A = this chain, B = another copy of it.
Amino acid sequence: MAHLSSQQACDVCPIRTRAVCAHCETDELAELEGIKYYRSFEAGQVIVWAGDQMDFVGSVVSGMAGLTQQLEDGRTQMVGLLLPSDFLGRPGRRVAAYTVTATSEIVLCCFRRKPFEALLAQSPHLSGRLLEMTLDELDAARDWLLLLGRKSAREKIASLLVILARREAALSRQRPKGRFAIALPLTREAMADYLGLTLETVSRQINALNREGVITLEGKRRVIIPDFEALVLESGDDSDGGLPA
């Protein structure tokens, strides 16, 4: 079951500078501290079911989760990736629109929904940051549309690895370059659901990239990228990821 972690101070928080609270002043932070609590989940646990009442919103502190949508016959598509600093939940909406599942161990910093909404209405620092993050997510979703609509299986896998590498690097305010190692905090099936593929195709393509030396598998959940630029080339788009140089 979900597990209530002990309180931590915001000023030592690893996502302090990137999360929804990033622009908050000391007094606003104090307000947030008052309505926050931590929860952790094991890999595979469902955090929220689509259609459930949701009495909190929050930020991912560590680990990873996926937003998932389903057709009645069971076909599943992951429609969002929640990585550290990403925001979970929609203020103003009582009922969850998507099922949220932990794909790895995860720690959330949760805010009670009602008081958070009140704070949001008062604080331009908070609402401005949320708008910015939502626009970023929309851009990410649009990149994902291009991936799902037009990329080959091999390009999809390469793109996913590029995204994970960029996100991992961003946490330490870097950009990936040359040799780079990343964790794969998802099963083959979760990757398939994210990429619009079957798990067999995911497995085959990952192993193909491994055989050809584009990546080096280290166990099943860890990947060495010997040459990041070469991987980007395999992903189909040679954009630089949009980070300021």
Contacts and interface: CB of A to CB of B under 8 A. Distances in A.
Interface of A: 67, 69, 71-72, 75-77, 79-80, 90, 92, 97-98, 121, 124, 127-128, 130-132, 134-135, 137-139, 141-146, 148-151, 195-196, 236-238
A86 to B, nearest CB: 13
B145 A144 contact: yes
Contacts of A79: 142, 145-146
Contacts of A143: 69
Contacts of A98: 142
Identical copies in the complex: 2
Contacts of A92: 132
A121 B98 CA distance: 31
Contacts of A75: 150-151
A76 B72 CA distance: 30
A173 B127 CA distance: 29
The CB with the most chain B CB atoms within 10 A, among A72, A97, A138, is that of A138
Given A127-B128, A131-B127, A131-B131, A142 B69 contact: yes
Nearest to A150: B75
